[in-house]
Amino acid sequence: MNLKSIGLVLGICFLAAACNKYRMQVTEDGLKYQFHEHNEEARKAKMGEIMSFHLVLKNSEDSTLRNTYEENMPVKLVLQEPPFKGSFEEGLAMLAVGDSATFYVSADTLFAKMMQPMPPMVKKGTDLSFTVKVLDIQTSEEFQKKQGEESAAQKGIDAKTIDKYIADNKLNEKIQRTDSGLAYVVESPGSGGTPKAGDVVKVHYTGKLLNGEVFDSSKGNPQTNGEPIDFRVGVGMVIPGWEEGIMSMKKGEKRMMIIPSGLAYGTEGNQGIPPNSVLLFDVELVDFSTPPPGSNQGMPGGMPPQ
């Protein structure tokens, strides 16, 4: 056999090995999977460690149910023991940093274990496909350290962003600031006292991005029929910027608050709110009261969670 023939044979062998490596496979617990990229030498997650990954979730008809690439918000998930045989978590435990794979999970089993009805876009007897690209794996200590470093850097970025917004909108003579980085303009003063931690406040609000795009408003919220929302302030039910801002307002006051991302939704963002977003809130403190001891009055409704 000449050298050319040997090279051809080796090439065919390598190709066959590669095809075999990335073929559809099934685990002992019945999880079907296919690697797209896989590095046996890279770091794998241990139970309790935090995995960051992009996810494309599709139904059996190849319709996309979720795409974190489009959301620009990778999933961050603590790796836990698989809740059932053939679960998505079993697949995650197989992956290392940089790996990419698709896992096929029984829709019937998944929704039964979640104790939720099958949604209309998912058919009984089919599989959901989870295509994952692992970006990072961290211990809780590593995660906290990185979050702290990113938060410190973002605080400086937010301050410059807020300064620019104030200058562009000629608010320098009206603006008031707090040590935390919160800035606000009192548009209509109130009277009387201010709420304290644990009080139930009744507020109208409109939340906007700095470009003016409205992402939420009590006045157009079907959950509250356009009425003000009620919640207990100072007990962690809402974002820190709201806690601080509202507890310095007087009854009847209207103010525009500029909230840095660290006092809002931070690096994670929220529905309709990109990560690291400085937010604008027009807030009116309609009323407030002190609930009786042991009362459940003031559970929030119609507002994005903290």
Q: Which residues are catalytic?
A: 205, 215-216, 239, 265, 281
d(CA 174, CA 186): 8
